Amino acid sequence: MIRRPSRPPPSGEAVAGAATIYIKGIHMLLVSEEEAKDLIDQATDNAAEAGITIRRFPIEPHNVLGIHTHMKGFGDGIWFRSYTEQVFNSLGERCPSERSLYDTTTN
């Protein structure tokens, strides 16, 4: 189920749609806690299949504000953005949190 965030975004004007939110032109998919858990589980499983062990994913599903699907310089993928503005890739590695890096309209 796609939902609006339970807390307002930290900055910028937000317009929520059925599945996306735009904050200062940044496209982000909103996901429920259950969907976030499924995506984190899938990322952990995919890493294990590639021989990479993730002992504990650094973001809990209830802390996921949204999912980015593109990052400048890397292309398509999945990045988890927390309510505290931290961003993690699908291997659980910390990534830059600068919102413009995830702006699919400019990169």
Span 13-28, average pLDDT? 48
Q: Sketch the domain layout of the chain as residue ranges.
A: 14-102
Span of 7-16, 27-36, 92-101 with lowest mean pLDDT = 7-16
Segment 56-93, tens digit of pLDDT: 999 999 999 999 988 998 888 899 999 999 999 999 99
pLDDT for the residue 96: 96
Residue indicated by tokens 């990322």: 43
pLDDT above 60 (res 22)? no
pLDDT above 90 (res 44)? yes
pTM reported for the whole predicted model: 0.73
- For 6-57, the DSSP string reads SS--SSS-EEE-SSEEEETTEEEE---HHHHHHHHHHHHHHHHHTT---SS-
